[in-house]
Structure 1
Amino acid sequence: MKRRDFAAALTAGVAAPALLSATPASAADRSATGLLRHMRAVLASELDDKDTAEALVPLVYDVGFDWHPETAPSAECDFVVAYAFGNRPPVGGGDPTKVRYEPGPVNEQLADTVAKVRARRDVPVYAQWEIARFLDSKYGMSDVTSIEPVIAPDGTITYLSTDGVAAQVLEARKKVPGGVGTACVIGFRDHHKRCVQTTRDRGMKAYAPRGFAMPHTYDTESGQAWTRRRDLYLVHDMLAQWTVLHAKQIAEAYPNG
């Protein structure tokens, strides 16, 4: 099957359910089923290998077509963890390796989301520093642990990755009587799924809070180029997902190296 035929098949697979008399949920399910079926057929033809296509298509679908994390009621969470997204260059300029960036408007929106969740569930909050600054200055929120960047003796700043933040949260939660508990994860809409998955990969039970919308407007002035536009960010996020998946697949296939 040629690429133009693949595009037509995908269009048909996605559009057909909308023509059916079905509930929105069943239409979405049918759309996904149709897409997966066409992906398997096209990849099997392209690779001339049905078994490999069967193994790969669920992974491709998960990384490229599924952008919503699993949710749970906020009442089930024992703590909130909030991951930052983007920033702004330092107002006064200076050496970017030693002058801390500004939190930026997206992280203020993430702080607003934390405040909404916290209003429903009064639990400890672990927030990346860009968000924690607003939780303090805008809300005067108590019981907030700010996850700070690593600063070397010479003043060089190393900002934490999503996984780096999760690792810091886990270490903090290990000290809490009664165990780590369940995390309610806050993150930018397109980053949210990976935030939940990364929290889980660090050994914590984690969900997105059900019924809460996440910030989704990109900051065109962000100091991180990949967080300025959605098309650029999604490629960045998919790369991050593939990198983790790659390591997991190899470890599963060859646990002894």
Structure 2
Amino acid sequence: MQRRDFAAGLAAAIAVPAALGATPAAAQEHPGDRHAPDELARRMLPVLSAELDDRGAARSLVPHLYDVGFDWRPETAPLRKLDFLVAYGFGNRPPAGGGDPTKVRPEPGPVNEELADTVARIRRHRTVPVYAQWEIARFLESKYRMRHVTSIEPVVAPDGTITYLSTDGVAAQVAKARQHLPGGIGTAGVVGFRDHIKRCVQTTRDRGMKAYAPEGHSMPHTYDPRSGQPWTRRRDLYLVHDMAAQWQVLREKLVSGAYPKG
């Protein structure tokens, strides 16, 4: 009975934004029913408590389950409060001429071009420095001739082997580039793929920067079935990938918080 009640409650919570005609892009600008978290938590807690036979553990887990599995919207801020933009890449295309993928860069691909277009639209409203993963920076340079763009490049070993930066690796490079500025690091406006941007904002913050998605600006949300990264070809696959990454970070935070000395 509890599982049926939870399923019915979940369906009701999901139906609210669906009834409003919410799309992946629109969901960022129209939050929908803000009572949904409370409703979901109320229904999840007894079910998980029964499954675990441990109400205390269930009470601790429910907020994390909601955050990772049900909340995909980043916190936003108006452009006037943002000092710079950080643009995170998403997917790519295999090298046009073939070759060893460990030593030949892939093509940036259409999703990263859409991300560059998003950066350009935002920059029309506020001219701030841009730190962009190289796949995006290439379009900012070639398509828009944009100035004040810092390209975050992969690491190339002496033998030519390329190590591509993770989301955290990009954030670390941006933090390093801005840490000694006279006015301080400042506040980042984060640009990223719709299903990636929440984690991009979180990761940017984890690297010691204030970070928000730019208020009023939707993010690209169309997947590229020809992406060279299989997990970025389909939404159902990517969401699992992103949740796994969120759980990994959360695990490290919880363990180190509970046992800071190991």
TM-score normalised by structure 1 residue count: 0.93
How many equivalent pairs are there? 252
* Distance in 2 (alpha carbons) for counterparts of 1:241 and 1:144: 29
- Quote the offset at 1:198 in angstroms: 0.1
Match status 1:186 vs 2:188 = no
The within-5 A match list for 1:34-45 is 34-45=39-50
Match status 1:106 vs 2:73 = no
User: Can you give the 5+ residue segments of structure 1 that lack an aligned partner in the other structure?
Assistant: 20-24
Provide closer, same or farther for how the CA distance between residues 12 and 73 of structure 1 changes in structure 2, counting only shifts above 3 A: closer
Q: Secondary structure at the match of 1:185?
A: strand
- Quote the offset at 1:26 in angstroms: 9.8
Moved more, 91-100 or 39-48: 39-48
Amino acid corresponding to residue 190 of structure 1 in structure 2: D
- Quote the offset at 1:36 in angstroms: 1.2
Amino acid corresponding to residue 28 of structure 1 in structure 2: D
Q: Which residue of 2 aligns with 1:246?
A: 251
Q: Which residue of 1 aligns with 2:99?
A: 94
Amino acid corresponding to residue 163 of structure 2 in structure 1: T
Q: Secondary structure at the match of 1:80?
A: strand
Root-mean-square deviation over aligned CA pairs: 1.9
Q: Which residue of 2 aligns with 1:64?
A: 69
Provide closer, same or farther for how the CA distance between residues 17 and 109 of structure 1 changes in structure 2, counting only shifts above 3 A: closer
TM-score normalised by structure 2 residue count: 0.92
Amino acid corresponding to residue 10 of structure 1 in structure 2: L
1:188–1:215 CA contact under 8 A, matched in 2: yes
* Distance in 1 (alpha carbons) for counterparts of 2:261 and 2:123: 44
Q: Which residue of 2 aligns with 1:173?
A: 178
Q: Which residue of 2 aligns with 1:10?
A: 10
* Distance in 1 (alpha carbons) for counterparts of 2:181 and 2:34: 41
Once the two structures are superposed, what CA deviation does each residue of 1:164-209 show, in whole Å capped at 9, x if it has no partner?
0000000100132211000000000000000000000000000000
2:5–2:43 CA contact under 8 A, matched in 1: no
1:185–1:208 CA contact under 8 A, matched in 2: yes
**Which 4+ residue blocks in structure 1 deviate beyond 6 angstroms?**
16-19
User: Can you give the 5+ residue segments of structure 2 that lack an aligned partner in the other structure?
Assistant: 20-29
* Distance in 2 (alpha carbons) for counterparts of 1:63 and 1:216: 19
Provide closer, same or farther for how the CA distance between residues 197 and 26 of structure 1 changes in structure 2, counting only shifts above 3 A: closer
Amino acid corresponding to residue 250 of structure 2 in structure 1: L
Once the two structures are superposed, what CA deviation does each residue of 1:225-256 show, in whole Å capped at 9, x if it has no partner?
00000000000000000000000000111111
* Distance in 2 (alpha carbons) for counterparts of 1:126 and 1:220: 27
